[in-house]
Amino acid sequence: MADELEKEVQAEKPAEKPVEKSAEDNIEDIKKALAEEKARAEANLSGWQRAQADFVNYKRFVEQDKMESLKYANTNLLVNILPVLDDMERALASIPPKEAHHKSVEGFKMIDHKFRTILEKLGVKPILSLGMEYDYRTMDAITSAKGKKDTVIQELEKGYKLQDKVIRPAKVVVGNGEEPSVKEE
């Protein structure tokens, strides 16, 4: 019963009118809303600028990757041609001196020269190793032998670079620091 009376009293009360805000309060609310919107706009602008910078960086990366791919596109082909160059070099080295000026030998030398010139134009360069200090970035040490320590004393297979990239390391014999024995007569 007490609940019913309370409900009746509340029903008889006039509804409370919302308190009207003063003009100053409205201005403050508008200023606050404006500040929030400015902060949101600045955050959006900042995010857009970061996304724009990321996109520019991505485009630069893709372009560099494309250039790198084009620069080394023929690497596989060139690596497969190098053994032919090795065979030509061995064939020329095996020609007896008395036959070195024969016309067919001269023709073979011209072909070898032309082949090397073409490779050079493509950016293929031999790696100098004989007598040089051993460099693990451009050479593979196959074994060591008596000779000046860490110096290449024999080149078993020439190494080559394409531009600045090693496409085949030189296979070398490296000195171990022991003095080679001198044969007495």
The CA-atom distances, in angstroms, between 45 and each of 33, 52, 59 are: 18, 10, 21
Does 4 fall in a domain? no
Query: Quick check: 92 and 108 in contact, CB under 8 A?
Result: yes
The pLDDT of residue 8? 62
Does 7 fall in a domain? no
159-162 sheet: strands from edge to edge: 124-127, 159-162, 165-168
Domain's final residue, options 47, 71, 95: 71
pLDDT tens, per residue, the chain with 185 residues: 556 656 665 656 555 555 566 778 788 889 999 999 999 999 999 999 999 999 999 999 999 988 888 878 888 899 999 999 999 999 999 999 898 888 999 999 999 999 999 999 999 999 999 999 999 999 999 999 999 999 999 999 999 999 889 999 999 999 988 887 665 44
The CATH code of the domain that includes 138 is 2.30.22.10
In a shared domain, residues 131 and 163: yes
* Distance (Å, whole) CA 172 – CA 37: 71
Question: Residue 146: how many CA atoms within 13 Å on its side-chain side?
Answer: 5
* Phi, psi of 22, rounded to the nearest 5 degrees: -75, 165
In a shared domain, residues 79 and 160: yes
In a shared domain, residues 151 and 82: yes
In a shared domain, residues 46 and 107: no
* Distance (Å, whole) CA 185 – CA 182: 10
Does 24 fall in a domain? no
In a shared domain, residues 164 and 132: yes
Query: Quick check: 134 and 151 in contact, CB under 8 A?
Result: yes
Does 19 fall in a domain? no
The pLDDT of residue 3? 63
Domain membership of residue 156 as a residue range: 72-175
Q: How many domains does the chain have?
A: 2
The pLDDT of residue 185? 46
Query: Quick check: 158 and 182 in contact, CB under 8 A?
Result: no
